[in-house]
Amino acid sequence: MNEIINLSKKRFTKYCEDNTTFEESINRMINHYFLQLGNRTNILQEREFNNEVEEQKFKNNVKRFETLFPAAAKNAFLKGYQLCLEFIHHPETQIPDTLYTDPNFIKDIPFALANASEFELYEIIRTDETQEFCVFAVRTYEGVHPLLEQVFCEIAFAGAECAFEHERLEKGFELEKGEITSLTKASVDRLFAITPSINGVVVHAEEHCEIWNLNWNSKVTIDDPFIEVAEVTFIHQTKDMIQKNIEDGVLYYSILYLDTPLHEIQDRLEIRVKLNSDFGAPRPMEQVEIEYILNEMIGKVHLQAQIPIENMILIQR
């Protein structure tokens, strides 16, 4: 195990030190899970207190939560990273070179690790830092323990995926290049991350229309990577198309732009989101997570396709 620890330190120095992209991804992941736990423990909502002592106790607990969780999350990530390295370099592990170039194989890593271990992942990834945070959180906030276990396992699997990516780089392999859609510039041959817990996949693509499925990712639902969260339809209309629809008397656009002069109409990307039930989901989808997913999705499309956010219209069903 010391060899694995030393190797992980070497890899972190090589690929993560002074790497702003890596730091941003780690911070994004921590913020994502902080939001989930913060919502479950009700520390994000405004509240009234009976007295100053109660208020100060609450603030002290929140401060400790904010201090302990990032350290615990980083330790869980590192344990997952080391676990993957141990798995990859085990004499009995045989990974064909072709899988290092397959963009979708990395999503199978959590499944492989879970099957390779005789112990529950949560027991393997426990450290002093994760234990300190968990003991504090369980004693302070009622009903948080199941989500805690899930969150730290997801973070550990993220670390494992990172380790596999670094192994690919060490071996000098490049991921296969795939096609992207013309509208949102999303990959059609692979899953893509929306949040650390949610993946997207393109199921239909035309020049002005796309349909995505949003699924819980394999770090969350190891045995089934296609438990659907939502179906998203993108409908793009240029200002010329909208103006023509209005001139042709198309009712939807005539009503939509009833009080808008034709020359003020801009291109429009309509994003229609149909949320599914929580049946089969690893956890109930809280409103705070739904809003986070939608914001991340809009931001992704904005960056990839260079579509102004002010031209996007979100319709949630």
pLDDT at position 86, please? 94
Kindly tell me the burial class for residue 251, based on how many C-beta atoms sit within 10 Å of its own C-beta (0-12, 13-18, 19 or more): exposed
Least confidently predicted of 113-117, 141-145, 301-305: 113-117
Residue 223 has pLDDT above 80, yes or no: no
pTM value is 0.89
Cα angle for residues 117, 121, 123 (degrees, 5° grid): 110
Check: CB of residue 274 under 8 Å from CB of residue 231.
yes
In 3D space, the residue among 188, 265, 201 whose CA is nearest the CA of residue 229 turns out to be 201
Amino acid making up residue 128: D
Half-sphere exposure (CA, 13 Å, Cβ side) for 87? 24
Residues 133, 146: Cα–Cα separation, whole Å = 14
Percent of the chain exceeding pLDDT 70 equals 98
Band (pLDDT 50/70/90 cuts) for residue 172 is very high
Residue 39 has pLDDT above 70, yes or no: yes
Q: What is the average pLDDT across 33-49? A: 91
* pLDDT tens digits for range 4-28: 999 999 999 999 999 999 999 999 9
Q: Give me the sign of the Cα torsion angle 306, 309, 310, 314.
A: positive
Q: What is the dihedral of CA 133, 78, 28, 163, to 10 degrees?
A: -160
Hey, is 69 helix, strand or coil? helix
Phi-psi sector, 143: left (phi>0), alpha (psi -120 to 50), beta = left
B/e letters for 10-31, b = 16+ CB within 10 Å, e = fewer, are ebbeeebeeeeeeeebbeebbe
- Name, in order, each residue with C-beta under 8 angstroms of 141's C-beta and a sequence gap of 6 or more: 40, 41, 42, 43
Residue 225 has pLDDT above 70, yes or no: no
pLDDT at position 121, please? 85
pLDDT at position 308, please? 94
Q: Which two tokens stand for residue 144?
A: 């948080």
The CA R_g of the chain, rounded to the nearest whole Å, is 23
* pLDDT tens digits for range 93-128: 999 999 999 999 988 888 888 888 877 888 889 999
Phi-psi sector, 48: left (phi>0), alpha (psi -120 to 50), beta = beta
pLDDT at position 277, please? 82
Cα distances (Å, whole numbers) of residue 200 to 104, 154, 232, 297 = 12, 17, 9, 9
Q: What is the average pLDDT across 87-96? A: 92
* pLDDT tens digits for range 70-83: 999 999 999 999 99
